[in-house]
Amino acid sequence: MNNTFTLMARTGRAFHLAQGAQLRITNIFGSQVVDTWAFRADDINEYMSMEHTRVHSTCPTPGKGTVFRSNMRRPLLKFTADSSPGVHDWFFAACDGARYEMLGFLGEHENCSDNLRRAMTKLGHPISHIPCPLNLFENAPLLKGDIGIYPPASRPGDFVELTAFVDLIVCLSACPQDMADTNGLDREPKNVQVSVVHY
């Protein structure tokens, strides 16, 4: 079985990812950051945790080979393929209303935290806190001692693949950041393509 959909710019979507299934996220335009979360389908209180993953990682940044662990330290997802230059982030919180307010936005700005909340509620799983996301394609070179966030290093058509160790609910948010260079110098959030292959 193969399901493909377009994740529209600025929006989020949550969906089931069965054990063994492979999730491919294609950065159609090359410049779009995708905030990524995962929860155990049988207990959403167990979620993919960047801080637990880092303790057991063999690499200081996320990349091909990384085993993403839960807050119970169990493997949930494996980073199985990456056609991009391999620049992703796992240090920074998802954007939220307060982030845009601090950047000077007046009113309600779309944001990844609300995208996650809404998408999980839609599946019948309201959540009480926002775990630190895996920020696919986000170019935040903190490890180089640089506190900035730059346009993605990825190119049009670059993709990553994540494979599920257990039955999961995954949520993706095409980051709506348009007040910083996170999603490219044109600051224009764009669509990405998502494919799920169940073997």
Binding site for a copy of itself (CB under 8 A): 45, 49-52, 54-60, 71-74, 91-93, 96, 98-99, 102, 128-130, 132, 142-143, 145-147
- Residue 10, token pair as written in the block: 């600025």
For 125, half-sphere exposure in the C-beta direction (CA atoms, 13 angstrom radius) is 24
What's the min distance (Å) between Cβ of 191 and a copy of itself? 25
Rank residues 132 and 162 by Cβ distance to a copy of itself and give the closer one: 132
CB atoms within 10 A of CB 118: 16
Rank residues 71 and 80 by Cβ distance to a copy of itself and give the closer one: 71
CA distance 128 to 130: 7
What's the min distance (Å) between Cβ of 51 and a copy of itself? 4
Question: Judging by beta carbons within 10 Å of its beta carbon (0-12, 13-18, 19+), is residue 76 exposed, middle or buried?
Answer: buried
What's the min distance (Å) between Cβ of 143 and a copy of itself? 6
Yes or no: say if 78 and 162 are a contact pair by the CB < 8 Å rule.
Answer: yes
What's the min distance (Å) between Cβ of 98 and a copy of itself? 4
Rank residues 81 and 103 by Cβ distance to a copy of itself and give the closer one: 103
Rank residues 102 and 185 by Cβ distance to a copy of itself and give the closer one: 102
- Residue 180, token pair as written in the block: 């910083």
- Residue 171, token pair as written in the block: 């949520």
Yes or no: say if 132 and 140 are a contact pair by the CB < 8 Å rule.
Answer: no
Rank residues 1 and 55 by Cβ distance to a copy of itself and give the closer one: 55
What's the min distance (Å) between Cβ of 95 and a copy of itself? 9
At 50, is the secondary structure helix, strand, or coil?
Answer: helix
What's the min distance (Å) between Cβ of 52 and a copy of itself? 4
Strand partners, 3: 196
Rank residues 4 and 146 by Cβ distance to a copy of itself and give the closer one: 146
**Backbone phi, then psi, for 14, in 5-degree steps?**
-115, 145
